[in-house]
Amino acid sequence: MAQLLKQSVKLALIQLACTADKSHNLSHARTKVLEASKTGAKIVVLPECFNSPYGTKYFPQYAEQLLPSPPTETQSPSFHALSRLAREAGVYLVGGSIPEKEASGKKLFNTSLTFAPSGELLASHRKVHLFDIDIPGKITFKESDVLSPGNKITLIDIPEYGKIAVAICYDIRFPELATIAARKGAFLLLYPGAFNLTTGALHWELQARARAMDNQVYVGLCSPARDMSAEYNAWGHSMVVGPNAEVLEQLDEKEGMCVQELKAGWIEEVRKGIPLYGQRRFDVYPDVSAGIAGEGR
Ligand SMILES: NC(=O)CC(=O)C(=O)O
Express each pLDDT in 20-60 by its tens digit.
999 999 999 999 999 999 999 999 999 999 999 999 999 99
Contacts 24+ apart (CB under 8 A), 256-260: 256/15, 256/225, 257/12, 257/13, 257/14, 257/15, 257/32, 257/35, 257/36, 257/39, 258/11, 258/12, 258/13, 258/15, 258/220, 259/10, 259/11, 259/12, 259/36, 259/39, 259/41, 260/10, 260/11
pLDDT of residue 70: 58
Please give the distance, rounded to the nearest whole angstrom, from the Cα atom of residue 235 to the centre of ligand 1.
10
Pocket test for ligand 1, best of 170, 191, 203, 205 (most atoms within 8 A of CB): 170
- N- to C-terminal Cα distance for the chain? 28
Pocket test for ligand 1, best of 125, 196, 211 (most atoms within 8 A of CB): 196
Please give the distance, rounded to the nearest whole angstrom, from the Cα atom of residue 259 to the centre of ligand 1.
23
Order of strands across the sheet that contains 186-192: 154-158, 162-166, 186-192, 218-222, 239-241, 247-250
Q: DSSP label at 263?
A: P
Pocket test for ligand 1, best of 131, 172, 232 (most atoms within 8 A of CB): 131
pLDDT of residue 102: 93
Protein residue with its CA nearest to atom 4 in ligand 1: 170
267: phi then psi, degrees, rounded to nearest 5? -60, -45
Please give the distance, rounded to the nearest whole angstrom, from the Cα atom of residue 18 to the centre of ligand 1.
17
pLDDT of residue 190: 99
Q: Which amino acids are annotated catalytic?
A: 48, 127, 169
Protein residue with its CA nearest to atom 3 in ligand 1: 170
pLDDT of residue 105: 77
Please give the distance, rounded to the nearest whole angstrom, from the Cα atom of residue 199 to the centre of ligand 1.
7
Please give the distance, rounded to the nearest whole angstrom, from the Cα atom of residue 170 to the centre of ligand 1.
5
pLDDT of residue 295: 56
Please give the distance, rounded to the nearest whole angstrom, from the Cα atom of residue 28 to the centre of ligand 1.
24
Atom number of ligand 1 nearest to Cα 130: 3
Protein residue with its CA nearest to atom 6 in ligand 1: 195
What is the CATH topology of the domain spanning 9-278?
Nitrilase/N-carbamoyl-D-aminoacid amidohydrolase (3.60.110)
172: phi then psi, degrees, rounded to nearest 5? -65, -20
Atom number of ligand 1 nearest to Cα 235: 6
Q: How far apart are CA 124 and CA 154, in angstroms?
A: 7
The per-residue pLDDT string of the chain (297 residues; one tens digit each, 9 = 90 and over) reads 789 999 999 999 999 999 999 999 999 999 999 999 999 999 999 999 999 999 999 999 999 998 776 556 677 899 999 999 999 999 999 999 999 999 887 899 999 999 999 999 999 999 999 999 999 999 999 999 999 999 999 999 999 999 999 999 999 999 999 999 999 999 999 999 999 999 999 999 999 999 999 999 999 999 999 999 999 999 999 999 999 999 999 999 999 999 999 999 999 999 999 999 999 999 999 999 998 876 555
Binding-site residues, ligand 1, Cβ < 6 A: 131, 169-170, 173, 194-196, 199
- Positive or negative, the CA dihedral 47, 198, 202, 145 is negative
